[in-house]
Structure formats: C-alpha cells, structure tokens
Amino acid sequence: MPRLKPREAASLPAKLPKILAFTNQKGGAGKSTGAVHAADWFTQKGYSTLLVDADGQQSSSNWLKELGLPCKVISDPEELFDELPKLSDHYDIVIIDGPGNASEVTKAVLIRSNLVLIPCRDSMIDLASTGKIVQFVRQAREIRGGLPSAAVYLNAVKDNTILLREAQEALQGGVLPLLNTVLPDRQCIKDAPGQGSTVFRMKGSSPKSAANAYTKLLIEALKLFESES
C-alpha cells in the first residue's frame, strides 16, 4: 500500500492505472526517459512500482539499476501478455518502457495496459508518424471494448517555437487527446541517465522546473485516466 502523507494523497487522483505504458513506434520520442521518470515519481510518492523494460535495447533497465529501483526485462510478446497481469498483482503500478518499432511487442503492451502515454517530438515528421501508433491503439480498443485510455504528449519542446503551436494544432484534431502539459527540451533531462539520476533527484533550478513539468504531466494523465474509467 502507498505510504502517502495526507497532503500528498489529496493532490493525487484516487484511481491509478495498474499498468501504464510509454509507447511510440518512433525511435527517440522519449519513451524510456518518460517511463524511468514516471517510475521514480510513483516510487517517491510511496507506491510500489515496477518498470518493465520491453525494449530489446534495455536502455531503461540499466538506468533503473543505478537508481536502485526494481526492473524486469521482458521483450517477448507472448511473455509480456502472460506476465503483465501477474506482475501487476504484486505492485501498485507497473510501468512499461515500449520499443521504438511497430511490433508484436507494442501490440502486446497495448492489449495489457490501462493507460498509454505517447511521447511525441514536435517535428512534422514525428507528428505525421503518430498515425501508426494511433491505429494500434484504435485496434486494441476494438478488441478490448474501449480500453486502453491513451493520450499523446509533446516532448522535448523548445521554448516558444512556432512549431509547437503547429504541432498542437496538428494533434488537436486527432483521435487521441493531446495533454496540455508540454515537456520542455532540457539538458538536465538528457544528462539524467549518464548521472544515474532523474530530475527529481538532481539539484538546481533547471532540474526543479523539469521535475515540475513531469509532475504536471503525470497528474494530468492520471486525471484523464480517472475521468475515462
């Protein structure tokens, strides 16, 4: 059970997704960065959290080891399908770091997740490529009668670019909701894996503002999940 102080508990939605995935078949979108930061955030909030590294490259599992957080590597689609429900019985939340391709692994992840977050960079190439993952989510929803909840968020956005407005307009008319919170492009986020850290643990004003952006993003995503379930 989570060890939350009353004030912290009051600021969080009551319902958590048991399985939260970061997916996008586009490489370099920010899945591993998002998944590891989410794992550290939920752990710091007092929830027992497991990260499942479903990417054959295992970038997040090495990072998790340095953070001292539990992690399991499963990159076989059948094993993911079978193991995810069992693992979620033992943790408050299981977070999945998805692979950067449109594979059977991504499909297994979508079939087993309660909430799917899709990081997307604000270039037109990246925006155009979200069509594939949106199609996967739509197909999973047809099979599962509406689940999983899913949303896109813009990641690594440079401050006040015209592209950001264009990106928001391009995604706003899409099938999946676009979260209002935008994650900025910050050197401290890039530096975090090399330092075996996250912006929640790093000192200074830049990590602090990046940490605030992650917190805002996760709370917005949890509220969306709560409203849809």
Interface residues with Mg ion (CB under 5 A) are 31-32
Of 190, 204, 212, 227, the one binding ligand ATP (CB under 6 A) is 190
28 in contact with ligand ATP (CB under 6 A): yes
189 in contact with ligand ATP (CB under 6 A): yes
Q: Cα separations (Å) of 213 from 34, 104, 224?
A: 11, 32, 17
Site string for ligand ATP, 84-113 (x = CB under 6 A): ----------------x-------------
How far does the chain reach from its first CA to its final CA, in angstroms?
Answer: 21
Shortest distance, position 223 Cβ to ligand ATP, whole Å: 21
Q: What is the 3-state secondary structure (H, E, C) of 93-162?
A: EEEEECCCCCCHHHHHHHHHCCEEEEEEECCHHHHHHHHHHHHHHHHHHHHHCCCCEEEEEEECECCCCH
Shortest distance, position 157 Cβ to ligand ATP, whole Å: 8
Instruction: Identify which range of 61-69, 71-79, 168-176, 183-191 contacts ligand ATP by CB under 6 A.
Output: 183-191
**3 state SS of 68:** coil
Of 155, 197, 198, 215, the one binding ligand ATP (CB under 6 A) is 155
Residue 9 CA from chain centroid, whole number? 21
- The type of residue at 56 is G
Site residues for ligand ATP per CB under 6 A: 27-33, 55, 59, 100, 155-156, 183, 185-186, 189-190
